[in-house]
A = this chain, B = another copy of it.
Amino acid sequence: MNKLKTNSAEKSILDAAKTIFLQKGMDGARMQGIADEAGINKSMLHYYFRSKELLFNAVFMEAFSTLAPQLNEILNSDRSICDKIKGFSHNYITFVIAHPYLPNFILQEINRNKAFVQDLISKKHFPSIKKFKLQVEEKVADGTLRPIKAEHLFINIMALNIFPFVAAPLLKGILGSSDAQYKNLVEQRKTEVAAFIINSIKL
């Protein structure tokens, strides 16, 4: 059978599954909904991916794979800490504006199935804080940075960049922002977040 046809069917299923799973999560998604989204028969889903769980795993892995590498900019590149923070904030926010469902999906599913994280950690290339920690400790020791634990700094960087997306509906409500106004606010954060962090840690 035609490799192209097979690949394209598999691909269109995965695309549809991504659309549905990212919006509704594992529990809220329906196999029929994914089939409809892909414009194919429900049996095809099982033909190519066996079960809802395996299809979901494929989607989750793909989603996680697009976010995880960005962490290497912070954790494993050789740039200065300030450059890392500026670069990551700008790139991450730009990326997530284009994929707004991603962060929420990852958080939701990682909280739903904690054994899942164990699985991810065991994989190669799972981000680790080791190198970043050495870098921070060095800069704190030589007086370039205020004393701060690398763990806290890392959590803060993640929090300031990711939270505005996962809490968007609530924040819009509290701030009384329209979609356009909030989008504008998020746009500002491409530079605002890094400035905020660097203000806090630079001596």
Contact = CB atoms under 8 A, between A and B. Distances in A.
Interface of A: 24-25, 27-28, 71, 75, 104, 106-108, 110-112, 114, 117, 120-121, 126-129, 146, 148-149, 151-152, 154-156, 158-160, 162-164, 166-177, 185, 188-189, 192, 196-197, 199-201
Contacts of A146: 199
A83 to B, nearest CB: 18
Contacts of A163: 155, 158-159, 162-163
Nearest to A159: B163
A70 B79 CA distance: 40
A152 B192 contact: yes
Given A159-B163, A171-B158, A176 B28 contact: no
A156 B193 CA distance: 8
A111 B169 contact: yes
Given A27-B27, A117-B173, A164-B159, A196 B111 contact: no
Contacts of A201: 199
A177 B155 CA distance: 13
8 contacts: A24-B112, A27-B28, A110-B169, A117-B172, A156-B160, A160-B160, A163-B163, A200-B200
Contacts of A126: 173-174
Most buried by B among A24, A160, A163: A163
Nearest to A163: B159
B169 A114 contact: yes
Q: Which 5 A-B pairs have the closest CB atoms?
A: A159-B163, A200-B200, A27-B27, A27-B28, A199-B200
A163 B188 CA distance: 20
B174 A71 contact: yes
Contacts of A152: 185, 188-189, 192, 196
Contact of A173 (B121, B172, B199): B121
